[in-house]
Structure 1
Amino acid sequence: MPKAVPEVRRAVREYLGEPCADVQLCVSELLANVITHLGEGTPVTLRVSGRATRTRVELTDPDPRAWPALRRVTDTEESGRGLALLDAVALRWGVTQGAGCKTVWCELDPGHSPDRRVALITGG
């Protein structure tokens, strides 16, 4: 796993101020998709916002063409399970097209974080 992923997971946990395994899992999987499909060092913007009703994670990257797709994998395949994990823990998820970018987002139930303002983590 590239060095940036555990650092971002720690930053998210510190921001939320409590254990947040599902949020960290979603962040890891979204970052792993960018690294796998666009390359390590691709600039991204991560937003984590928490409200009384749900926590939202958004990861924006600069390639509007590389859309994630949920797929079935066999027991022998070594990759391809990231979105299945995200789909299993999130209430819902999707992709929003931007001008020259896309944002993959997911929402988790309120038990994952307290009310918080938005955190922005930009890499590149």
Structure 2
Amino acid sequence: MLRQRVREHLGGPCAEVQLCVSEMLGNVIRHVGEGTPVVVRVCGGAGGRVRVEVTDSDARALPVLLRAGGDDEYGRGLALLDAVSLRWGVRRGEGHKTVWCDLGEA
């Protein structure tokens, strides 16, 4: 449902944006816990760029870019994010963190 809402928000196909939102939200569910409150922001910017931000309430559980092996079941989410985004990072605040990425035209 979230992928559909992102597409509606951006007004058309946006596979890379939808992928990043899914991977970032999946990391919150996997590493912080199912049911964790999150805020998802998708904002258009200059030159057709799109910024995606996912904020959750655990400033301690920071994402780590891994190099997954062929038989590994996990560890590819941030590698996908890294591959399709122009750049990405993490901002920590008091009692929360925001994982963000910038993408080219949606």
Distance (Å, rounded) in 1 between the aligned partners of 2:13 and 2:61: 31
Identity %: 64
Say how many residue pairs are matched: 105
Letter in 2 for 1:51: G
Task: Measure how far apart 1:73 and its partner are.
Answer: 1.0
Among 79, 84, 98, the alignment partner of 2:93 is 98
Aligned position for 2:37: 43
> Structure 1 stretches (4+) deviating beyond 3 angstroms?
none
Distance (Å, rounded) in 1 between the aligned partners of 2:67 and 2:87: 18
Aligned position for 1:14: 8
* Gaps in structure 1 of 5+ consecutive residues: 1-6, 113-124
Among 61, 70, 76, the alignment partner of 2:65 is 70
Greater relative contact order (CA < 8 Å, ≥ 6 in sequence): 1
Distance (Å, rounded) in 1 between the aligned partners of 2:99 and 2:12: 24
* Gaps in structure 2 of 5+ consecutive residues: none
Note the alpha carbon deviations across 1:85-120, whole angstroms, 9 max, x for none.
0000000000001110000000001x21xxxxxxxx
Note the alpha carbon deviations across 1:24-49, whole angstroms, 9 max, x for none.
00000000000001111110000110
* TM-score, structure 1 normalization: 0.83
Query: What RMSD, in angstroms, separates the aligned Cα atoms of the two structures?
Result: 0.7
> Secondary structure of the residue that 1:13 maps to in structure 2?
helix
Aligned position for 2:19: 25
